[in-house]
């Protein structure tokens, strides 16, 4: 994809980002790179540069901290994302949200499709929309197709919170922010979340703020 000069410019851009060292700056909502579909990866970065970029994404995700990060969130319009979730949550949250630990993974050119009709709604945030959270109804289970950083095929079904992470990060690569899918009346500051809506599920928030949650799958 792109001309040789385009590819060279992209590689140079990544080299410039990495030259600073440490976590990369995270791009926030309003930057056009978050609203453009990312370019499929087909070797624009040489293997060594790709490995360094993936490591920088990992470091940046950990430092934020977050459980996923897509390349456009650091200003690079390539279809690459990383995910990892140690899931340090109470048992009631683990059960309610299906949040279980996920190892570090690199997703290259990912896409997902729903598995079954089930949907689940929970508060969700984003490193590119700091300070806010909102309820998003997403597929409860998805099939992920991708490649890893070595070019090996990934074909895996994710459920619960890991499915949410996969959808959120893949959406970034399509130019979609979680706010595009969120219930507008649920939008809450991090302060409000800490003071009011820390329950494992959003039923109380839905009743108080006046929005609907998805019903059971039929």
Bond before 150 cis per omega within 30 degrees: no
Phi, psi angles (nearest 5°) of residue 132 = -135, 155
**Residue 139 annotated as binding site:** no
Closest by alpha carbon to 106, among 37, 155, 57?
57
**Residue 62 annotated as binding site:** no
**Residue 126 annotated as binding site:** yes
Which are the contacts of 102, defined by CB distance < 8 A and separation ≥ 6? 67, 83, 84, 85, 87, 162, 165
Contact assessment for residue 81 and residue 173, using Cβ atoms and an 8 Å cutoff: yes
Q: Which residues are catalytic?
A: 169
Cite the annotated binding site for Fe cation by residue number: 126, 168, 172
Annotated binding site: 126, 168, 172
């Amino acid at each position: 994809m792109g001309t040789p000069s385009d590819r060279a410019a992209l590689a140079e851009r990544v080299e410039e980002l990495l030259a600073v060292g440490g976590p990369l700056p995270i791009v926030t909502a309003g930057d056009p790179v978050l609203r453009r579909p990312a370019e499929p990866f087909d070797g624009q970065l040489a293997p060594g540069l790709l490995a360094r970029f993936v490591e920088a994404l990992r470091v940046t995700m950990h430092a934020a901290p977050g459980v996923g990060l897509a390349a456009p969130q650091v200003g690079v319009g390539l279809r690459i994302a990383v995910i990892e979730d140690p899931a340090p949550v109470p048992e009631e949250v683990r059960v309610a949200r299906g949040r279980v630990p996920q190892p570090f993974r690199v997703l290259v050119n990912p896409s997902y499709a729903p598995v079954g009709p089930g949907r689940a709604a929970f508060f969700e945030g984003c490193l590119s929309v700091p300070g806010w959270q909102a309820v998003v109804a997403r597929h409860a289970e998805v099939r992920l197709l991708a490649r890893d950083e070595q070019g090996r095929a990934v074909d895996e079904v994710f459920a619960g919170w890991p499915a949410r992470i996969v959808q959120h990060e893949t959406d970034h690569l399509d130019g979609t922010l979680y706010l595009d899918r969120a219930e507008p009346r649920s939008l809450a500051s991090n302060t409000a979340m800490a003071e009011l809506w820390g329950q494992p599920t959003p039923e109380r928030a839905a009743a108080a703020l006046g929005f609907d949650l998805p019903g059971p799958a039929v």
